[in-house]
Every structure is written in C-alpha cells, then in structure tokens.
C-alpha cells in the first residue's frame, strides 16, 4: 500500500471499526510495512493533539463522537459556566455548567463527555480531561488573607485565585499587580498554585495598565535588542544616493492630514485641477525601502501585525526610529514614498492610474480640525495662516464630495457612528470622555485612501499578481432575516432578494433613517449583523464598500499587510515576478497572522477604553444621567449616557416595579403587568450604582418614575 497517513487511520476508525482500537490493532488491521508501523504512533499522537482523536484508558483510540466525547476549546464565562467549541467545526458548541468546568481553565483544549442535565434534561458537557493548557503565566493582583498569599487573575474569565506558597511571592506587596507562573494546575477539588516571577506595579499606573493589556492579549511589548540595533543603523535622513530611479515630486504641494495626537504619518496627498477633471497624488511612506523582507525588524513587524493604539499610548509595529522618524512623512522633510497617481473626470469617476517610487516633501502637517476650519467653518484666522494651501484644499473638497457621491451610488455602506475621545490629565488619568464625530476633513482623507487602496488592488488583479486582499463577505441570510424583522418594529422594511442582499439596499435604508430618532439604533444593529473584515489571498470582494477589488496599501507604518502589498507592487513595477521570494513568508500565512493580530489588537484597545471609562465614572456613584438603551438581553439592558460617552448595564433584577420578560426577536424587555417596555432606543434616566474596574463593568440603576397603575375593569352592576 501507499505510505500511511492520517486519512487511512481516520477511515479505519470512522468506517471499519465498531469499537476503539489499540495501536497494535491499528497496525495489524492496516497491514503495514515495518517502516509504516513505526510512523503510526507519531500520526496517532498528532491526531490526538489536534483533537481529531481521543485516547481512552488502556491506550485505545477512537473518534470523539463515537464514544460520546467532544474535543474542543473551552471558553469560560465570567459567571463560571463555559462553552466548548469543538475542533470539528460541524458540531455545535457544548454548554458546561460551572460545577463541571474543573480541572480546566479558560482557553484550554479539553475533552468533555456529553451528559443529560438532571435538572432540565438538556444535553451538557463535563470536562473529563485537559488535552492542552492555554497559558503558563498570567497577570493578577497579589493579596494576603491571614498570612496566606494568593493572586486574583486580572482576566475575568479566570475564575479562581491562585495560591502563592510562602517564599514564592518575591518582593510583591499586597495590592500590587504581578506576573505569575503556574506551577500546578487546578484539580477537581483544589485550585492552582503559582509563583510570582515579576512585580508589575500599582494597578492604577497607566504604564502598568498597558503592560497588563499586553500580557493578557498576547501583544509584543518591547522590541528585541537586535531589532533596535538594526533600526539604529537606518539613516535618519534621505541621502542623494537613494533617489536613483525615483521620480522627484518635491515640487508638489503635499500635505498630511491627521488627528492632533498623531505622531506617525503614513500618507500625504496633493492635487491638481485638470481641464476635464482632477489629478490626485496619494503618497505613502516607502517602508519596504528600509525594512527588508526576512530582516529582524520585518520578523518582529509580522509578529506584531499592527500598531496598537491606547488612549495616550501606542505599541508600534515598527521601532520608533522608523515609525516616527525616517518612515514618517514629517513636514518640511524629504521622504521616500510609493505614489498612486489617480486621474478622475469631472463627475469623480476614476479614468486613469499610475504608480511609481518617488521622493516628496511635505509642505505642512495639518489636523482634521484645521482643515474643517478652512473648508467648513471658513475661519478667517486659519485660512490666513494656511493661505498657500487653501486653494488646493478647496479642490480636494470638490473631488472628495464627488467620490462620496460615486460610492453612495454604487451602494457603499456609510456608518457615521461616534467614537469615544478620552482626554487624559498629566498623570494619564481620564479627565473627560466626549463623542467625536467625523467632519469633512475625516471624510476627505478617508475617500482618498479608499481610492488608492481600490486602485492598487484593481491594477494588481489586472496584472494577475498574487496578493493579499482586504475581504468583507456578505452577511448571512439568517442575520439579514433577523435584521429585517428588527427594523419592522420601527416601521421600516427591506425586501431581501433571493440571490442575497446587496449593499446598496442597506445603504438606501440608512439614507431613509438619517435624522430619525431610530437612526443611531439601526446603524448599530446593522453593523452588528455584518461579518468582520479580514485578510485573504482569495479575492472575495468587499461587501461594505461595494468594491470588487480592495486591499490595504495606505498604512505600512502600522499594518503589516500594507507593507506586504508594497513589496508586491514594487516587484510588479520592476517586472519581477513573485517566484523565488527568498526569506519572505507565504502570503497565505501573512494574511492569516495579520487577521489574528488585528483581532487581538481590537480586543486590547477595547479593553483599555472600557477601563478608562470605568475610571472616569468611579467617583460619580449616585449621580444621575439621561441615556438611551443600546442593547437588550435576558439579564438586563445596556444604557449609553448622553452627558458623558459611557455605557453601563441596568440588571433586570433591579427592575422592581414589575416582572419583565425578554422577547428576543423584538430586542426588548416587557413588563407582564404594566406592559412597560425597554427596547433599543428607549430613553431612560439612570444613576451610577457601582463601578468594577477589574471586570470593566458599570452598573446603573433606573431612576424610579411615577408609572400610572394599570387600568382595572370595573365590574358590571347589571
């Protein structure tokens, strides 16, 4: 027979065996050569490790489903129970009651036995074995009780404290945040034991907060000495010898437009009015000139995948000498760039494109506020200060407005949702949280970056060049049916085509609800109904942008896929093909790792923002605010405050005026007696009841209102 592989073993246990088999029985049944008999053990071990098989007592092997077992990853809820997501993606998640979670911890790969609940009769799981531990170290708060030391994990999914034996606490003092190495994992009747390996410091120290986030979300925190040494060798200025083969665009009025706190400038724009349209230059920092594929810096950049932005802090993808130095398009300095030169007709349609390597010179570092002052507010002081750029900015506005209209016509979705701007004091503590709205300046730059990204993707597809796409798939039929049902309660409707929903249909709905009381709610629910975008070598299009071809090209300082696309574009411009990439990582691997890095960065950023919001509200317990219900669940509803941009929960157990029932299809809680309802968009008045910094939770209490009693039917006297 041909060389043995895992498919032969899978077929045997799936089709031909009616019971679990030992290693010897598998070897004999498959009739193997001496060499193949030796390799079977390694294959079985690998299949068990990957969760494809389970190894039972007595050394026998079986498919999990055949012996009423499930292998998968355990996710523990902060209330103690968990769910196991099976390795077999066709199987459903398994609920595990809190009493059956041990000896496992959050994130572990486990084997669970399916049982019937004695209480409800419904299927549930019991962890019988841990196949692979998710973590060896964790971060938490060191505490003592009657002389016994223990650490409470910072991750709310990790329920139990770790015992710290005498002599294992090092220099830690009660109340400090520490890094713990797990020395023994929990059993069914005992907890985990650990040893403190590092004292991080005071939990309220902003630097410690970032370090904790880095540990919890597996973010690379510091650059290696090798990467810093390599970055130190990069010249701080552009040398004349580097200009060979580059176009000199230093005569153009390039400007950067970013937020007030930005320090790394990926992109700059310049514009010219043509006889029948416009010419736009989008210049992007030529990071690939300084970061060679396979170099130490490149490997660390791929490991990071993206820069991570926290309020007042950043974990950059590239060392500061590059990200804020030679690669940043700082004002009044020459910089090496990759340029997309895009021509548009008078209606804003792209009619020509060209790409080149160039050198540019930024005329100014503008902020969104400044540009809005020039273009929207017509501020005479700012217009006077920037008079040499006003004409160009006005032409940019013309083109941006045309491009916005072109995208709207093709159905590109435009979610204009506010974000939280967290203002910090000198100690890094939050002193204000306000809503930030996108102004014309944000939209202008956004349109130009979208145009460049789309143009690069379209051209490389035309060249049949393998590349990394930014993919956003269409929402599922089930999600759209649920959304259709939801908006019906606001007297809005959409007709879902048999062939699947198109983005233009959804954008038309967003246009209809613009300015209506339910606009904010419908925007939020629709956004939640859409899948997340990701990176892929397969061009599946971008549903949200209604684009057939799309990639990320405009931020190589802070996103690795953009750097990879730059290298691909350069090779195509030079006439070299993708074959023989040397030290470069395969594009499929870059896409996969970049998508994972993006998710963990988003989770870490969201976690720190939640922490800052909790810190801001911590001293406001008892204060009253007006707000709006943003989401509803069986356990209560979340409220977003009007006065300060924070969100907290009103638990259903605190609604003492009635018994409330949750109606999932209508996203609402409704009182059984008084028929009072709380749905998405309901205005409420609440007070801050409790703030839990560790769990990132804010609890509100509904301000009691005089609710008219339900009308009683008078008995007839007749």
Among 405, 440, 460, residue at a domain's last position: 460
Asked whether residue 100 is assigned to any structural domain, the reply reads yes
Residue 522 in any domain: the answer is: no
Phi first, then psi, for residue 238 (nearest 5°) are -80, 125
The answer on 156 and 116 residing in a single domain is no
Is 716 a domain residue? no
Same domain, 175 and 122: no
Q: Are residues 311 and 401 in the same domain?
A: yes
The pLDDT assigned to 240 comes to: 92
Number of domains comprising the chain = 5
Do the bridges between strand 254-258 and strand 350-367 make them parallel or antiparallel, or are there none, so unpaired?
Answer: parallel
Residues contacting residue 496 through CB under 8 Å, at least 6 positions apart: 477, 480, 481, 484
195 and 318 assigned to the same domain: no
* pTM tops 0.75: yes
- In 273-420, alpha helices (H): 287-290, 296-304, 320, 368-375, 380-385, 387-410
- Kindly state whether residue 568 falls inside one of the protein's structural domains: no
In this structure, are 286 and 410 located in the same domain?
Answer: yes
pLDDT of amino acid 684 = 94
Contacts of 82 (CB under 8 A, 6+ apart): 74, 75, 76, 95, 96, 98, 101, 104, 106
Report the b/e string of 496-508 with b at 16+ CB within 10 A.
Answer: eeeeebbbeebbe
| pLDDT the model gives residue 486 | 87
Residues of the chain falling short of pLDDT 70:
1-2, 6, 16, 67, 118, 576-584, 705-718
One-character DSSP codes across 114-157: EEE-TTT--EEEEEEEEEE-S-SEEEEEEEEETTEEEEEESSTT
Is the domain of 318 the same as that of 453? yes
CA distance 26 to 48: 15
Q: Are 333 and 362 in contact (CB under 8 A)?
A: yes
User: So what's the pLDDT on residue 537?
Assistant: 96
Alpha-carbon gap, residue 615 to 203, rounded angstroms:
12
Instruction: Write down the pLDDT at residue 7.
Output: 77
Tokens at residue 564, please? 């990879």
* 319 and 455 both lie in a single domain: yes
Which one of 203, 225, 245 terminates a domain? Answer: 203
Q: What is the pLDDT of residue 712?
A: 42
In 3-state terms, what secondary structure has residue 618? helix
What lies within 8 Å, CB to CB, of 377 at 6+ separation is none
Domain boundary among 132, 157, 182: 132
Residues 113 and 239 in one domain: no
Please give the pLDDT value at position 89. 72
Q: Does 525 fall in a domain?
A: no
Q: Distance between CA atoms of 371 and 24, rounded to whole angstroms?
A: 75
User: Hey, how many other C-beta atoms are within 10 angstroms of the C-beta on 410?
Assistant: 13
Does 588 fall in a domain?
no
pLDDT value of residue 639 = 95
- Same domain? 127 vs 177: no
CATH of the domain at 55: 1.10.10.10
Question: Does 456 map to a domain?
Answer: yes
**Are residues 312 and 256 both part of a single domain?**
yes
CATH value at residue 106: 2.40.50.140
Cα dihedral value 112, 114, 116, 121, nearest 10? 100
- Asked whether residue 482 is assigned to any structural domain, the reply reads no
pLDDT at 709: 52
The distance in angstroms from the start CA to the end CA of the chain is 95
CA separation for the pair 328, 286 (Å, rounded): 9
Residue 86 is part of which domain span? 68-132
pLDDT of residue 717: 35
User: From the CB of residue 628, how many other CB atoms can be counted at a distance below 10 Å?
Assistant: 18
Specify the pLDDT at position 24: 79
The CB density around residue 484, as the number of other CB atoms within 10 Å, is 17
Question: How many CB atoms within 10 Å of residue 568?
Answer: 23
Residues 50 and 128 reside in one and the same domain: no
Question: Quick one: 151 and 122 in the same domain?
Answer: no
């Amino acid at each position: 027979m041909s060389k043995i592989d895992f498919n032969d073993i899978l077929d045997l246990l799936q089709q031909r065996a009616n019971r679990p088999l030992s290693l010897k029985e598998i070897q004999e049944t498959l009739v193997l050569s001496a060499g193949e008999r030796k390799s079977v053990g390694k294959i079985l071990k690998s299949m068990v490790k990957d969760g494809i098989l389970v190894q039972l007592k007595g050394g026998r092997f079986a498919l999990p489903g055949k012996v009423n077992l499930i292998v998968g990853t355990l996710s523990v809820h902060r209330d103690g129970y968990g769910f196991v997501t099976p390795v077999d993606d066709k199987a459903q998640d398994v609920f595990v009651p809190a009493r059956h979670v041990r000896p496992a911890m959050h994130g572990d790969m486990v084997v669970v036995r399916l049982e019937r609940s004695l209480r409800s009769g419904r299927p549930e799981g019991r962890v019988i074995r841990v196949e692979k531990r998710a973590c060896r170290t964790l971060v938490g708060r060191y505490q003592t009780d009657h002389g016994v030391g223990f650490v409470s994990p910072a991750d709310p999914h990790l329920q139990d404290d770790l015992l710290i034996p005498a002599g294992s606490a090092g220099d830690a003092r009660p109340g400090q945040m520490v890094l713990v190495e797990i020395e023994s994992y929990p059993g069914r009747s005992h907890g985990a034991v650990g040893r403190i390996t590092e004292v991080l410091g005071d939990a309220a120290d902003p630097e410690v907060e970032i370090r904790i986030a880095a540990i919890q979300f597996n973010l690379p925190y510091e650059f290696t000495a090798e990467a810093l040494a390599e970055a130190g060798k990069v010249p701080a200025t552009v040398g004349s010898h580097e200009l060979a083969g580059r176009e000199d665009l230093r005569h153009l009025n390039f400007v950067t437009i970013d937020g007030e706190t930005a320090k790394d400038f990926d992109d700059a724009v310049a514009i010219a009015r043509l006889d029948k349209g416009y010419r736009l230059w989008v210049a992007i920092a030529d990071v690939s000139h300084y970061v060679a594929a396979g170099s130490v810096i490149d490997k660390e950049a791929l490991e990071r995948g993206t820069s991570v932005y926290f309020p007042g802090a950043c974990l950059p993808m590239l060392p500061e000498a590059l990200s804020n130095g030679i690669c940043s398009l700082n004002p009044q300095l020459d910089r090496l760039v990759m340029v997309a030169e895009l021509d548009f007709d008078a209606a804003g349609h792209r009619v020509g494109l060209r790409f080149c390597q160039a050198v540019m010179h930024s005329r100014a570092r503008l902020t969104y506020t400044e540009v809005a002052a020039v273009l929207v507010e017509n501020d005479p002081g700012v217009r006077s200060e920037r008079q040499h750029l006003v004409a160009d900015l006005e032409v940019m506005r013309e083109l941006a407005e045309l491009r916005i209209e072109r995208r709207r016509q093709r159905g590109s979705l435009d979610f204009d949702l506010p974000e939280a701007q967290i203002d910090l004091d000198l100690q890094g503590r939050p002193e204000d949280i306000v809503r930030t709205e996108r102004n014309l300046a944000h939209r202008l730059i956004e349109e130009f970056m979208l145009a460049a990204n789309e143009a690069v993707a379209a051209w490389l597809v035309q060249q049949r060049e393998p590349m990394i796409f930014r993919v956003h798939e269409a929402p599922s039929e089930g999600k759209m049916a649920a959304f259709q049902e939801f908006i019906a309660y606001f007297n809005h409707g959409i007709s879902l085509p048999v062939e699947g929903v198109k983005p233009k249909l959804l954008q038309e709905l967003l246009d209809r609800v613009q300015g209506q009381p339910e606009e904010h709610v419908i925007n939020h629910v629709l956004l939640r109904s859409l899948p997340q975008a990701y990176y892929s070598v397969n061009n599946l299009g971008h549903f949200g942008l209604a684009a057939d071809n799309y990639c990320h090209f405009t931020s190589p300082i802070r996103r690795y896929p953009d750097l990879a696309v730059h290298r691909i574009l350069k090779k195509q411009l030079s006439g070299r093909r993708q074959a023989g990439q040397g030290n470069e990582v395969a594009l499929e691997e870059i896409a996969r790792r970049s998508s994972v890095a993006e998710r963990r960065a988003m989770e870490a950023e969201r976690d720190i923002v939640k922490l800052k919001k909790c810190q801001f509200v911590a001293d406001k317990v008892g204060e009253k605010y007006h707000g709006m219900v943003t989401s509803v669940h069986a356990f209560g509803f979340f409220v977003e405050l009007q006065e300060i941009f924070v969100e907290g929960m009103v638990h259903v157990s605190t609604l003492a005026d009635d018994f409330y029932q949750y109606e999932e299809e209508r996203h609402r809680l409704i009182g059984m007696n008084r028929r009072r309802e709380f749905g998405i968009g309901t205005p409420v008045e609440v007070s801050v009841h409790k703030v839990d910094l560790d769990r990132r939770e804010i609890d509100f209490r509904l301000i009691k209102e005089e609710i008219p009693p339900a009308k009683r039917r008078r008995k007839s006297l007749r």
